[in-house]
Structure 1
Amino acid sequence: MTSPPIGNAIQARRTALGLSQSELAQLARTTQAQVSRIERGAITPTLPILERLARALGADLEVTLKAR
């Protein structure tokens, strides 16, 4: 199972900043387990969680919705 693009993006940004999952979780006011599950694609993060993660990572949150 491969990680979804959002999980990959979060993990790439986190590691580029030299943050552990625990450090990111603390900055985003969530848990390390939740960060891990998001990065692996085990759960889909809610918009509020995504906003907090983006803020903690110093990144812009861009959401694109498209019909299938």
Structure 2
Amino acid sequence: MNHTRWKLAQEKKATEGYAESAEVEAERAEIRLAMAFAKAVYDRRKELGLSQSQLAERSGLTQAKISRVEGADAVPTLPLLRRLARALDASLNIALGDDHEEVTFIARPAA
């Protein structure tokens, strides 16, 4: 199915009162959060001019793990979040709402 047909099908479902199950909605929320985190890590790394290998070295992780994080393929643990925030010289803010997830790294002021 090409994009145009997919969009039309999606619009048709929306106008007919189609609603996804709670399970599907929860899964979509998890994916959105993983993607928001991945984008935040990527954006901050690029802002610092670091390669994945350099970030991996700074955080004590492997380049492959950084790649999985940036590809939204890894579920980060709290210790991993802390390591990444420190390695990116930033504090990590995560805002969770019913239909909105926001992940940002706030640069620490230079000492």
Structure 2's unaligned 5+ residue stretches are 1-31, 100-111
Instruction: Look up the match of 2:86.
Output: 55
Instruction: Look up the match of 1:28.
Output: 59
Which one of the candidate residues 1, 17, 28 is aligned to 2:48?
17
Distance 2:87 2:58 in 1: 6
Name the % identity: 46
More contact order relative to length (CA 8 Å, sep ≥ 6): 1
The alpha carbon displacement at 1:63 in A equals 3.6
Structure 1's unaligned 5+ residue stretches are none
Distance 1:47 1:63 in 2: 12
CA distances 1:3-59 after superposition (whole Å, capped 9, x unpaired): 610000000000111000000000000100000000000111111011011011011
Question: How many residues matched?
Answer: 67
Q: Secondary structure at the match of 1:61?
A: strand
Distance 2:38 2:73 in 1: 9
Q: Give the TM-score taking structure 1 as reference length.
A: 0.85
Does structure 1 residue 8 correspond to structure 2 residue 39? yes
Q: Secondary structure at the match of 1:8?
A: helix
The alpha carbon displacement at 1:65 in A equals 5.2
RMSD: 2.0
Distance 1:65 1:13 in 2: 20
Structure showing greater Rg:
2
